[in-house]
Chain A
Amino acid sequence: MTTSASPIRVEQGVEVQNRAWQEEETEMNHHGVIDATTFTELQEAAGPEFVRELVGTFLEEAPAMLADLRSARAAGDGERFRRAAHSLKSNCQTFGAMALGALAREIELRGLDPDPARDAAALGALDAAYLQAAAALEALSRG
């Protein structure tokens, strides 16, 4: 093998490898964050194009639900707190967003914690899980 016969430089080879690894990692994330069976069944029942739009709606609506949770926590409004968590959980079940759904469910069933710090921690975890779920859903719905 001569250097002139190889069009790929060493740096490029590393980049390609890195990209492949990243893609694989992303794939794995999708599988871990979104339940593939639920998502595929949803696409089969409602049509992939519609599900793409529905994911778009969810990504528009979810930040408001997360914000609602925080403001309900701040206002000590237990009913609104539970309802926002319930609403988020319900959508997670629709899309198969298991991890996010499980966190939302915990918050729904527990309601306001007497210790606001615990709720703050739970909401922090929820935000992080949402970012992961949002990225995964976006990637999945694009096919």
Chain B
Amino acid sequence: MASPARLLVADDNKVNRLLLQRSLQLQGHHVSLAENGRVALEMLVREPFDLLLLDIAMPEMDGFQVLERLGKDLRLRDLPVIVTSAVEGMDSVVRCIECGAEDYLPKPVNPVLLRARIGASLEKKRLRDQQKELLRRFATREVAEDLDASGFKLGGRRLEATVMFSDIRGFTTMAEAMAPEETIELLNTYYMLMFDAISGHGGVINQMVGDGLMAIFGAPLALADSCGSAVRAAEEMLAMVALFNLEPDRKGKTPIRIGVGIASGSVIAGYTGTDQRATYTCVGDTVNLAARLEAHTKAAGHAILVDGATQAALGAAVITQALGPVVFKGKTLAVDVFSVGIA
């Protein structure tokens, strides 16, 4: 038998509920019961289920309304739903399928058919979950959700965002003195810490190259205070690195130091690449400026550098220091550079 699943039965008729529960328990599944659509939705939000068996004619909230609500809920839209109903006529079957139901079983439900349909639905869900998991591993949650919601389409849009670049100072020299395994382990730990700090403040890491990373705040999903979020993330990244350097197994080793450059403004964000292989990225002057600021941290002797647009949005709570205008490579105009915190 297939592994047991967590199933929810929504039916206002007690005899139907108990009979379905019995059939499903005999098949080895864990079954919960809801006496109408509203109760079912509340339970679905509260606890995880693998599949919903849904009646149509119910008081308070009927099956069609439940299907519509599920379709609009990002977290629940992929839940397989098998409609079980004694409603007659093809119209209701068609409407259920159009509303996103996976399957339709007429009542009284034939136990053999029920087993087959549940098995097929759960298998499809397993494959979908696996696909999503892969997507999550190779893209960020935000990008995965964006892809899930609007589908994949090459091309971008212009939006306001804050871009962050960060890397480990002198990493190449450090890596030369380390065994390859040690280098990878160090990078993995470093990335784990940086991911936590960045995603904890609503940022999305969209590139990792060697010891460097690029993160976007405010895309693909808008962020209320992208400048403040990016700076707070940078401060947390520095704090994380400081803690990491204090760990016992880092004793006697060269402490890691990072540099972070942050710039805000207009970017073009979207999927670039080909239909077969693509990535979510941001391009534009703001991105180049953030990269230049990050590279400038070493010369400036400050760990976090931000541009004027970011600094202007920060407010008095964040201490910044004007370092004067700098003309970066490839640019004709000088840019005001600010350091964050104490050098």
Contact = CB atoms under 8 A, between A and B. Distances in A.
Given A46-B22, A50-B22, A94-B107, A57 B86 contact: no
A91 B57 contact: no
Given A57-B15, A83-B59, A87-B12, A93 B22 contact: no
A47 B18 CA distance: 13
Task: Give the secondary structure class of A's interface.
Answer: helix
Contact of A91 (B16, B59, B88): B16
B120 interface: no
Given A93-B107, A93-B108, A87 B18 contact: no
A123 B245 CA distance: 82
A50 B111 CA distance: 15
Contact of B86 (A45, A54, A61, A89): A89
A109 interface: yes
Interface residues of A, number: 21
Contacts of A53: 18
A94 B16 contact: yes
A90 interface: yes
Interface in B9-36: 12-16, 18-19, 22-23, 26
Interface residues of B, number: 18
Nearest to A86: B57
Nearest to A60: B14
Contacts of A50: 22
Contacts, number: 49
B87 interface: yes
B70 to A, nearest CB: 22
A47 B23 CA distance: 10
A54 B13 CA distance: 12
Contacts of B26: 46
B14 A90 contact: no
A86 B14 contact: no
A68 B13 CA distance: 13
B24 to A, nearest CB: 11
A86 B87 contact: yes
A57 B88 CA distance: 25
Contacts of B88: 109
A133 to B, nearest CB: 13
A53 B19 CA distance: 10
Contacts of B12: 87
Interface string A72-98: 000000001011001101110110000
B9 to A, nearest CB: 14
A138 B23 CA distance: 22
B37 to A, nearest CB: 13
Contact of B14 (A42, A57, A80): A57
A45 B111 contact: yes
Nearest to B12: A87
A54 B57 contact: no
Interface in A95-143: 109
Interface in B80-120: 86-88, 107-108, 111
The 10 A-B residue pairs with the shortest CB-CB distance in the complex, in nearest-first order? A90-B86, A94-B108, A91-B15, A87-B13, A45-B111, A93-B108, A58-B15, A46-B22, A83-B57, A86-B57
Interface of A: 42, 45-47, 50, 53-54, 57-58, 61, 80, 82-83, 86-87, 89-91, 93-94, 109
Given A53-B18, A54-B18, A109-B88, 5 more contacts: A42-B108, A46-B23, A47-B22, A80-B59, A91-B15
Interface of B: 12-16, 18-19, 22-23, 26, 57, 59, 86-88, 107-108, 111
